[in-house]
Structure 1
């Protein structure tokens, strides 16, 4: 009983919990909890930035990217460079939008204990999916540089 009450307020800062498969005292079934302690919500700074300012910035930047997409996809200004800029706008918007639901849920409500599903959703979207879209944006920027380089260095090849 004493061990479970320690988890109600989260683990002690100096307490080291060894949960590995080689530890003979670790029993996976006896320590299964429905809620996971989310250590990242520990300052008012994080709550304000991630809970209130980040969602507004993501929505504003996504709306601006929608304007970029709508503008550059018109027939009379559709060029290869503008198509690459549209792709960059899409991947930049998705970088913020995929993290928005989980981040807003965790930080705006100041959730200290998360269900397993919310913990997994938060970490997967922040650590994998958002980074993948950001990496795509970086490579699209490199592609735009290469396309511009071809137009300057070899204009005859680039026009084909």
Structure 2
């Protein structure tokens, strides 16, 4: 019985660990998704800005170039951010998978333990029935011999 309680405690710990890793992974996935969406927004905006502007005056052209340069720099920075977040996903995913596998292993150990207990009970019941039958047979034979 004590072993079962210890296994249940271990299962609770592994479940909690998996929940923590799941939460961490989901946060990183959300951050990576947001960064990717932001990158797409910036590149779409740059594309729209470049195709939609027909400037003829020199100051307007200089402003456009300056703005385009700043937007291109923002896109490059966002690409870096997105790449970093993708790299951070890998260990989080690996940690989550390990936590999940640990939990599954503990659940399997608990199931194996329960099956072993049932088999032991069945063996003990069979042994008790054989002992009872042997005792009854012995008593019956003794009565017949008397």
Give TM class, smaller chain.
0.3 to 0.5
TM-score (normalizing by structure 1): 0.40
* Bigger relative CO (Cα 8 Å, ≥ 6 apart): 2
